[in-house]
Chains A and B, each alone.
Chain A
Amino acid sequence: MHNPELLSEEKVFKDPVHRYVHVRERLIWDLINASEFQRLRRIKQLGTSYLTFHGGEHSRFNHSLGVYEIMRRILETFEGRIQLSREEKLLCLCAALLHDVGHGPFSHSFEKVFRFHHEDWTRAIITGETEINRILRRMGDGFPQKVAEVIAKTYENKLIVSLISSQIDADRMDYLLRDAYYTGVNYGNFDIERILRLMRPHEDGIVIKFSGMHAVEDYIMSRYQMYWQVYFHPVTRSAEVVLRKVFQRAKDLFQAGYSFRVEPVQLLPFLREEITLADYLALDESVVFYYLHQWKAEQDPILKDLSSRFLDRKLFKYVECTPKDFRLIADLQKLFLEAGIDPSYYLEVDSTSDLPYDFYRPGEDEERIPIMLLMPSGEIVELSRKSEIVESISGKRRFDYKLYFPLEKVLALPEGLRQAICERLGVVKDADGSCQDHPSD
């Protein structure tokens, strides 16, 4: 390992959330300039959310820089309170910067269909034959592995791991503020300055001084609101369903030996499920959009229709429906088949749920590390024992289910079938011929 070098002058990035992102370490500057990191500029942080919140077009590049900046400030707060070596500090900064480097375009939809996890690619990019790996190795041959372990939560120093992933960590704090800013909603705001100022290292994790409890309450409530108002928005989920069906149709056609009008060369490794690191790194949103445009002109009517729906935002409509309605869903599947609408691509139950905050109950094998408060007496107390607001939502899981379908295809069916399907969907037809289900825009 050679001594990590400092830049001759501090570099700064203007950032709408943190005002400035400060870089002084040569290692960090070079990582930012690595091609694998620059690729994140071409991957949206919020996937399909831009179809609901038009401002939500920020990239994973922005977010990764933001997480790095928060980590840098946490380390400043810890100065003089805990002994971390220069190498350990750089480990924290590199892990923060690179935690999402393995994300691909539209991860939620893409990974489900092509059966891989971006976390595995994050590890592969950090430890494999890449520019990022070569830069990290300047710190020693074992350094990339350590960075990968911090991100995968298998690193032995739990304090360092908890700074990247716990119920109050650099990642979450940045994405809540950033996503709120770009989508234009008010919910995600909380006083990050205060939280960072009152954060203290303690044994295997971090604690927040009791005087910062109200700022933490605000953070928990922001998280709750952002999940339900932004991340789980039914229109965003509709776009995800449509995109998932596009990929599924392309995969099914490929496996059936279909001859594409334009061979999807850059997607072939994914369709074959034989993906190399180079294949993965060559994929970004521009590639996906290119093929969506090509597929819009395909012979196959399903692929053509689904691709057009995504590009032109002609999404599926929805009604409330839970997996408990499985008999009704089976009925609908039959009716869709009868109507010539393939339910494998045009009928989907999407479920989502969130747990805003959870605490550790003694004696249970729970996996979530709770947020701990440092009391003036020096005692450490779990957050929900002091905060009534947090207590009221602790451990409370909320679920939401929607059944997605192409309303206009249903309405175009002959009267008998249309009526049978609409009755089951609970869709009401207006006198003017339009159909009112939900105001889903």
Chain B
Amino acid sequence: MLMDHAKIIRLIEIAGEVTGRKKLHKMVYIAQKMQIDFAERFQFHMYGPYSEELTLRVDELCNLGLIDEQMETKGAIQLYRYTLNEEGRDFLKFHNVDFGRGEQLIRRLNEENSRFLELVSTVLYFDNLPYAEMTNKVFTLKSKQRYTEEEIERALTFVAELRAMMA
């Protein structure tokens, strides 16, 4: 019971701190694609794979006081910073969440910035398409981000690294 809540809290505990709502969404999506058992449903939105269910879950956890959300302003951008609090830690004591090798993967994802994770998650979203069609999707749907071929190559290398980590 409440395991889906516990998994998000545990992800934040492992990461220590996650900066940005977008980054959190991309981390959960990529982890899910790497077979880590998150239940949230994702769809493609403006910034790539996005989960309305995850937005609700995070709002809910903040509202319940199980995680802390702090807003900070960086120039014109407002960023949300998520950390675990004591109540959340207690909650986890009642819920045994074991991500196995996924823990290492979550830490690795958190080392990257949200722009790069947005690209990685988009590449993974279209992983059923041939290379040329996938890059075409990245360039047309993400035209504002102006990703380059080199960045796509780096994203694919990163995906391979994650897969090796989980193998």
- Most B C-beta atoms less than 10 A away, residue of A327, A329, A362, A364: A364
Chain A contacts for B91, CB-based, 8 A:
323, 326
Chain A 328-359 near chain B by CB (<8 Å), digits 1 or 0: 01100100000000010001110101010000
B contact residues, total (Cβ < 8 Å): 36
| A322 in contact (CB, < 8 A) | yes
Select which of B5, B21, B56, B64 is within 8 A of A365 by beta carbon: B21
B54 shortest CB reach to chain A, Å: 11
Stretch at the interface among A128-136, A151-159, A263-271, A296-304: A151-159
| B85 in contact (CB, < 8 A) | no
Stretch at the interface among B39-47, B100-108, B148-156, B157-165: B39-47
**Which residue of B has the minimal Cβ distance to A119?**
B43
**Which residue of A has the minimal Cβ distance to B37?**
A115
Select which of B5, B21, B44, B76 is within 8 A of A362 by beta carbon: B76
Chain B contacts for A364, CB-based, 8 A:
77-78
Select which of B21, B60, B90 is within 8 A of A351 by beta carbon: B60
- Most B C-beta atoms less than 10 A away, residue of A323, A361, A399: A323
Chain B contacts for A351, CB-based, 8 A:
60
| A314 in contact (CB, < 8 A) | no
A347 in contact with B94 given A117-B41, A353-B60, A397-B59 (CB within 8 Å): no
Chain B contacts for A152, CB-based, 8 A:
43-44
Contact present for B41 and A367 (CB under 8 Å): no
Contact present for B44 and A327 (CB under 8 Å): no
**Which residue of B has the minimal Cβ distance to A369?**
B46
Chain A 426-440 near chain B by CB (<8 Å), digits 1 or 0: 000000000000000
**Which residue of B has the minimal Cβ distance to A365?**
B22
Chain A contacts for B1, CB-based, 8 A:
329, 333, 343, 347-349
Contact present for A154 and B44 (CB under 8 Å): yes
Contact present for A327 and B76 (CB under 8 Å): no
Total A-B pairs in contact (CB under 8 Å)?
Answer: 71
Give Cα distance in the complex from A349 to B95, angstroms.
14
B122 shortest CB reach to chain A, Å: 10
A120 shortest CB reach to chain B, Å: 10
Chain A contacts for B56, CB-based, 8 A:
353, 355, 397
A68-83 residues at the B interface, CB under 8 angstroms? none
| B167 in contact (CB, < 8 A) | no
B102 shortest CB reach to chain A, Å: 17
Chain B contacts for A348, CB-based, 8 A:
1
| B132 in contact (CB, < 8 A) | no
| B66 in contact (CB, < 8 A) | yes
| A112 in contact (CB, < 8 A) | yes
Give Cα distance in the complex from A156 to B41, angstroms.
22
Q: A323-B5, A323-B64 are in contact. List 6 more A-B contacts (CB 8 A).
A: A323-B91, A326-B2, A330-B94, A364-B77, A365-B21, A365-B22
- The residues of A with any CB-CB pair to B shorter than 8 Å are 112, 117, 119, 152-154, 156, 322-324, 326-327, 329-330, 333, 343, 347-349, 351, 353, 355, 361-365, 367, 369, 397, 399
- The residues of B with any CB-CB pair to A shorter than 8 Å are 1-2, 5, 20-22, 39, 41, 43-47, 50, 55-56, 59-60, 63-66, 76-78, 87, 90-91, 94-95, 114, 125-126, 137, 140-141
